[in-house]
Amino acid sequence: MTKLPNTVCPLCWNPTSEAGLKQVDWLDPRVLSRIADRHPSWRREDGACPACVQEALLETLHAYGDAALHAGIQAVWPLDAEAAFGALPTPLRMHADPHYHGRGVTLALVDSAFYPHPDLTEAGNRIRAWADATREPVSALTFGRQQKPRWPGWNVGHPAQWHGLMTSAVAAGNGFLSHGLYCGLASKADVVLVQTRDEDGRITNATIARALEWLAARAEEFELHIVSLSVAGDPVESLAGNAVDEAVRRLVESNITVVAAAGNNGERHLLPPATAPGALTIGGIDDKNLFDHSEVELWHSNYGESVAGTLKPELVAPSIWLVAPLLPGTEQAAEALDLFARRSRGDAAGNPEIAPQIANEKLVTPYYKLVEGTSFAAPLVASTIACMLEANPGLTPAGIRRLLLAAAHPVAGAPVERQGAGALDSGRAVALALRARSERAHDSSEPARRPSTRKSRRNGRG
């Protein structure tokens, strides 16, 4: 595991760097005032880590409105002095509510393969289980909070692991190797990881269905709330009754929300599980790494209809300019460390190849890079749902769908069949979830209380 500096943030006491502490220098006075209000003994010269600065920015955005800080943030980004590109962290670009991080929610990710990255295992392991669904019976391992998760082939450095690592970190990573900066929206959620890539390199409908059936059977054990699928199965002659769509239906009927990536070819062609009527199918947008909604354009994601005639996708979300970890122990990870080490020594001035190499590899820091695809748009929606459920545990899949669609921003000039209700707005979706909880409590004349078990959520209204 990478050793981080011994410097700690005076606000959260988490490890950071000297350069990271200096990020308060450019902050708007309103943000500085908010930090000082929360920490009366704090002084500006004490500094604050990027994660605490980002939290203060989000709180100020929510207090004063979007326009109050957008221009200032965009002008001085990157926040991390060691970053090569000014890629906005996910919580900021999604206007996330800083009070909700998916705590108490379990999210399952179905992908090719996975890696137990520090962003998921440090400061307490959040990987509840790993499973291999490529053969019957499904093999699985469960882990405790203090365990270091390990499973067969966990450290082989295969590209299939990198894909699953990136999707799981985009959803639920805590940004450990970036001092908390490049975290997912559901950075406090627990995860279950189910791999589906067989020895021949294929992901079949049979394997995806087996993965979903295994999750359904273990849902009570893991108190499972959400399943995110960043996989595509086989074409089917007839959508009606196909095994994957049926497995999705059973999960939704069990009060589990299912999210699926639409695919990346820009074609009117969908494959299971994106075809499932019960799933929220997620297409892509390019927000240009900007806050301005007017700059958003559709990304080249797939679209179509389900067997029920439902238009797909239901939503679109960022599919480019997303930051995710490099796979430790690989040549790419070693190259990134070397390039940034040479850059920090000033070698870039004498070696003009360093900057182009960093750009070509889309490296953001020594441990993170830019990624793209609807494989990452789907976990963004899934992590938003985790925050919605933390805010309002009584929501059902139908209620979650309704609120997400109501919160979305239509993409100007884009056809409905390619964007559904529009672009994901995480902060607004959580706000609507909170409103629904308040209205339910008012209607019942009882105070809103958080159910202590997953079973109690089944009686909630959406």
pLDDT tens track for 96-140: 999 999 999 999 999 999 999 999 999 999 999 999 999 999 999
Question: What are the CA-CA distances from residue 303 to residues 261, 270, 322, 426 (Å)?
Answer: 10, 6, 21, 22
Q: What is the pLDDT of residues 201-236, one digit of tens each?
A: 999 999 999 999 999 999 999 999 999 999 999 999
Q: What is the pLDDT of residues 236-245, one digit of tens each?
A: 988 898 999 9
Q: Which helix (H) or strand (E) holds 401?
A: helix 397-407
Across 27-86, the runs of DSSP E, i.e. the strands, are none
Q: State the pairing for strand pair 315-318/363-365.
A: unpaired
Which segments of 218-271 does DSSP mark as H helices, in order? 219-222, 243-253
CA distance 117 to 129: 14
Whether residue 377 contacts residue 290, with contact meaning beta carbons closer than 8 Å, is answered with no
What integer pLDDT is reported at residue 234 of this predicted model?
Answer: 94
What integer pLDDT is reported at residue 461 of this predicted model?
Answer: 29
Q: Tell me the pLDDT band of 456, cut-offs 50, 70 and 90.
A: very low
**For residue 40, with 0-12 CB atoms within 10 Å meaning exposed, 13-18 middle and 19 or more buried, which class applies?**
exposed
Enter the DSSP assignment of 138.
Answer: P
Q: What is the pLDDT of residues 263-301, one digit of tens each?
A: 999 999 999 999 999 999 999 999 998 887 788 999 999
Q: Tell me the pLDDT band of 152, cut-offs 50, 70 and 90.
A: very high
Give the residue, 69 or 21, on which the prediction is more confident. 21
Contacts of 314 (CB under 8 A, 6+ apart): 280, 281, 282, 401, 404, 405, 420, 421
What integer pLDDT is reported at residue 291 of this predicted model?
Answer: 81
Q: Give CA 119 to chain center in angstroms.
A: 12
The one-letter amino acid at 135? R
Peptide bond into 313 cis (omega under 30): yes
Q: Tell me the pLDDT band of 447, cut-offs 50, 70 and 90.
A: low
What's the Rg (C-alpha) of the chain? 21
CA distance 14 to 49: 8
Q: What is the pLDDT of residues 167-201, one digit of tens each?
A: 999 999 999 998 888 999 999 999 999 999 999 99
CA distance 433 to 460: 13
Q: Tell me the pLDDT band of 356, cut-offs 50, 70 and 90.
A: confident
Q: What is the pLDDT of residues 21-39, one digit of tens each?
A: 877 777 778 888 888 888 8
What integer pLDDT is reported at residue 452 of this predicted model?
Answer: 40
Token look-up 């695919």 returns 263
